């Protein structure tokens, strides 16, 4: 073999190896990678027998103007829905560590995104950045333990769903193994063309690595619905300094405004 042919063969081998390393499918996801600068590389695995994805991730935070986290993703477009049970491997570490279902415009650290962020503290929030490099905002769920001094007596939510229809993205939740229902948190986010959908973990501590499991995960492309829209009424508090929001209560408008007395059939507002 001549030296030119040998160099060509080696070049093709290196090129092929680069392609194989560049794509690392995990279950339904096309690839996984760390977003932003992290001190410890994250990992992503899938156990088909248990139908569970396990991610480890580092990163200082997913907040402010930039993010650092481990991300398993696939490229999608249009109206989509992502659902999963989420659980941390342990309760140690920073109580603000996050496991997320996320839609993200790009893999850049300051990208437009929206996610449901489940914190080790129990806080659940719809968090978003609506412009590249903008400050992250959030809408907190009232299912978080001790929220507004009204602790929940039942099981905390464990199953979560992130849905995009048009530019609107909203959060649905359920107790373990339940059917998620709309929780009152929604935001309009300009995701253009193709974007990334997936799962992620952030340790909220640049020196630490944390782990979370995403089980019974389901991804759907949503077709147009012929059913009539359902109206909801949501009462929120809004921070005047940061414009962050907290949902106090959310109700189906029909159930809220059309409770009728059997005798008169006149709407009874509650």
- pLDDT tens-digit readout, 74-129: 999 999 999 999 999 998 999 999 999 999 999 999 999 999 999 998 899 999 99
Q: Is residue 44 part of a domain?
A: yes
Q: Is residue 16 part of a domain?
A: no
**Spatial distance between the Cα atoms of 202 and 79, rounded to a whole number of angstroms:** 26
Q: How far apart are the first and last CA of the chain?
A: 86
Q: How many domains does the chain have?
A: 1
Concatenate the DSSP letters of all residues of 55-110 into one string.
EEE--S-EETTEE-EEEEEEEE-SSEEEEEEEEES-S-S-TT-EEEEEEES-SSTT
Q: Is residue 204 part of a domain?
A: yes
The model carries a pTM of: 0.81
Contact 150, 162 (CB under 8 A): no
pLDDT tens per residue, the chain (270 residues)? 555 544 444 444 444 333 334 568 999 999 999 999 999 999 999 999 999 999 999 999 999 999 999 999 999 999 999 999 999 999 899 999 999 999 999 999 999 999 999 999 889 999 999 999 999 999 999 887 655 434 454 456 789 999 999 999 999 999 877 889 999 899 999 999 999 999 999 999 999 999 999 999 999 999 876 566 677 776 777 777 767 777 777 767 655 444 444 433 332 323
What range does the domain containing 234 cover?
A: 24-222+230-268
Q: Assign residue 125 the CATH number of its domain.
A: 2.60.120.200
Q: Is residue 15 part of a domain?
A: no
Q: Is residue 57 part of a domain?
A: yes
Q: Is residue 8 part of a domain?
A: no
According to DSSP, the residues that pair with 25 across neighbouring strands are none
Q: Is residue 18 part of a domain?
A: no
pLDDT at position 6 is 43
Q: Is residue 126 part of a domain?
A: yes
Q: Are strands 113-119 and 124-129 parallel, antiparallel or unpaired?
A: antiparallel
Sign of torsion over alpha carbons 244, 247, 251, 252: positive
């Amino acid at each position: 073999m001549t030296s030119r042919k040998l160099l060509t063969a080696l070049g093709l081998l290196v090129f092929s190896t680069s392609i194989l390393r560049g794509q690392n499918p995990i279950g339904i996801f096309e690839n996984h990678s760390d977003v932003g600068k992290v001190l410890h590389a994250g990992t992503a695995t899938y156990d088909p027998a248990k139908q569970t994805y396990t991610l480890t991730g580092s990163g200082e935070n997913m907040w402010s103007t930039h993010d650092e986290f481990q991300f398993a993703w696939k490229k999608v477009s249009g109206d989509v829905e992502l659902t999963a049970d989420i659980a941390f491997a342990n309760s140690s570490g920073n109580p603000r560590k996050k496991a997320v279902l996320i839609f993200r415009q790009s893999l850049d650290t300051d990208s437009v995104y929206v996610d449901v962020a489940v914190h080790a503290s129990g806080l659940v929030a719809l968090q978003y950045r609506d412009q590249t490099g903008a400050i992250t905002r959030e809408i907190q769920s009232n299912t978080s333990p001790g929220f507004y001094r009204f602790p929940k007596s039942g099981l905390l939510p464990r199953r979560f769903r992130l849905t995009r229809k048009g530019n609107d993205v909203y959060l649905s939740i359920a107790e373990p193994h339940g059917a998620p229902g709309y929780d009152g948190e929604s935001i309009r986010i300009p995701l253009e063309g193709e974007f990334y959908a997936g799962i992620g973990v952030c340790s909220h501590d640049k020196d630490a690595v944390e782990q979370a499991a995403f089980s019974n995960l389901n991804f759907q492309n949503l077709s147009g619905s012929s059913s009539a829209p359902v109206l909801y009424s949501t009462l929120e508090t809004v921070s005047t300094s940061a414009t962050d929001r907290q949902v106090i209560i959310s109700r189906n408008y029909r159930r809220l405004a059309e409770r009728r007395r059997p005798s008169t059939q006149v709407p009874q507002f509650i």
